[in-house]
Amino acid sequence: MNTYAATLLETVRSTRPLIHHITNTVTINDCANATLAIGAAPVMAGAIEEVGEMAGIAGALVLNIGTLSPAQVDAMVAAGKAANAHDIPVILDPVGVGATTLRTKSAEKILRECTVTIIKGNAGEIGVLAGSGGTVRGVDSGGCAGNPLEVARRCAERWSTVVAMTGETDIVCENGEAYLIRNGSPMMERLSGTGCMAASVVGAFAAAGDDPVKSAAAALIAFGLAGERAERESAGPYSFRTALFDELASLSQEIIISEAQVEQIRGI
């Protein structure tokens, strides 16, 4: 997996895929910059009048419900259907799902009406979408009910998609196969938007790869390693933010091969 992730990073940088975002207003600039730092190209286009056209020319579509409205959800569904028609990966970041009825119903609407390639969420969000229970306060995870690997598997099975569940150990799974990724930094929880940025990196890797579960795992390896390395040179959350972008941009194949901590599990 280390070699696959390293190779995919270089594919992202050599092909520079366009990643179409319909995302939240709190972290939109950080998502754009994370996409640029990893080597892809961002576009933030949310008007329903253009989302179908934009999605049709993108390498991947990232949908983030962090600051949602009914009109935005309609635009997300339209973009998702256009992406599906062009076989373009769709990544859903169900920010805060479970915290309110609007968020939960909106995420489920997107999942019912579009084919979502990868759901990227924290443990609480994935627990809610799995139907097994999870707690979310605002947009922060309170954790899932039960074994995290089993919860991720249930969510993947329920929605017929790849699940990338972030946490102290990231879990990526689909169809009985899982990757446990132990790269990352506690500083990521002290900075707004790191989960949103992770979804952008997942979008970039999904656009460059042909295996969604491996692409999602590779993306979280890369993002986790950038966080680990950024922590070493930061004094607090905001210097960490700057260092995180720098480390995403300077991440190399050699770093991934030598420092990725990933375990593959089959038959879950």
Annotated binding site for substrate: 44, 193
Residues belonging to the binding site for ATP are: 120, 166
Residues belonging to the binding site are: 44, 120, 166, 193
* Two structure tokens written together for 163: 């699940």
Q: Please state the φ and ψ torsions of residue 87, each to the nearest 5 degrees.
A: 55, 40
The residues facing 174 across adjacent strands are 177
Burial 87-119 (b: 16+ CB within 10 A, else e): ebbbbbbbbbbbbeeebbebbeebbeebebbbb
Q: Which residue is listed with tokens 């253009």?
A: 50
**194 to 88, 176, 186: CA distances (angstroms):** 24, 28, 11
Amino acid letter, residue 105: K
